[in-house]
C-alpha cells in the first residue's frame, strides 16, 4: 500500500471514530434539556493535505458555549486521533488509543481501545457516560469560575 493510500485509510478511520463519538455524546446530552448540540465543519491539515472534519458544540440555549469538540488530527504521536475539548477559558484533550498504544508504558492502566480524556500529569480516563459528564462539568465550572 502506498503512503497516500495509507494516509487516506487513517483519515477515514479517524472520521469514523469521530462520528461514532459524536453519536454517543449526542445521546448522552439528550438527557439534559438545558443543553443544545450543534455540528459544524472545519478544515484541518494533515501533512500537505487538508480535509474537512466535523466539530460539535454544546451550549445552553441563549447562553455561552459550554464546550466545543474540535478534531486536531489523526497522525499524532502515541495516539490514533486527538480532539480538543474547549471553551473560551479551558482546553482539554480526548485521545483515541488503539491496541498499539495500550501496551505502551506511557499509558499505564489503559486496558481497552477507545477515546480517553487526557489531563496534564494525570493518567487518561476512558470516556464513558460518567467520565463525559465529569468532563462537561469540569469545563463548564472552569468557565463560570473565570467569567469576565
For 48-66, write each residue's pLDDT tens digit.
Answer: 778 899 999 999 888 888 8
Total domain count, the chain: 1
pLDDT band at residue 146 using 50, 70 and 90 as cut-offs: very low
CATH of the domain at 73: 3.30.920
Question: How confident is the model at residue 47, as a pLDDT?
Answer: 72
* pLDDT at residue 7 is higher than 90: no
Question: How confident is the model at residue 17, as a pLDDT?
Answer: 95
Per mean pLDDT, which range of 63-77, 84-98, 105-119 is the poorest? 105-119
In angstroms, the first-to-last Cα distance of the chain is 53
Domain boundaries, position 100: 3-145
Question: How confident is the model at residue 148, as a pLDDT?
Answer: 37
For residue 86, what is its C-alpha cell?
474547549
| Pairing assessment for the beta strands 91-97 and 82-86 based on DSSP bridges | antiparallel
Q: What pTM value is reported for the model?
A: 0.85
Amino acid at each position: 500500500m502506498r503512503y497516500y493510500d495509507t494516509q487516506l485509510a487513517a483519515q477515514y478511520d479517524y472520521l469514523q471514530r469521530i462520528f461514532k463519538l459524536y453519536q454517543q455524546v449526542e445521546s448522552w446530552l439528550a438527557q439534559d434539556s438545558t443543553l443544545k448540540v450543534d455540528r459544524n465543519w472545519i478544515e484541518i491539515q494533515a501533512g500537505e493535505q487538508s480535509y474537512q472534519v466535523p466539530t460539535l458544540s454544546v451550549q445552553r440555549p441563549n447562553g455561552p458555549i459550554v464546550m466545543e469538540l474540535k478534531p486536531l488530527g489523526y497522525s499524532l504521536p502515541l495516539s490514533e486521533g486527538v480532539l480538543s475539548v474547549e471553551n473560551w477559558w479551558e482546553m482539554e484533550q480526548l485521545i483515541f488509543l488503539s491496541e498499539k498504544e495500550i501496551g505502551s508504558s506511557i499509558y499505564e492502566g489503559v486496558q481497552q481501545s477507545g477515546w480517553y480524556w487526557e489531563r496534564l500529569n494525570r493518567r487518561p480516563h476512558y470516556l464513558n457516560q460518567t467520565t463525559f459528564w465529569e468532563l462537561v462539568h469540569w469545563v463548564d465550572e472552569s468557565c463560570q469560575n473565570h467569567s469576565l
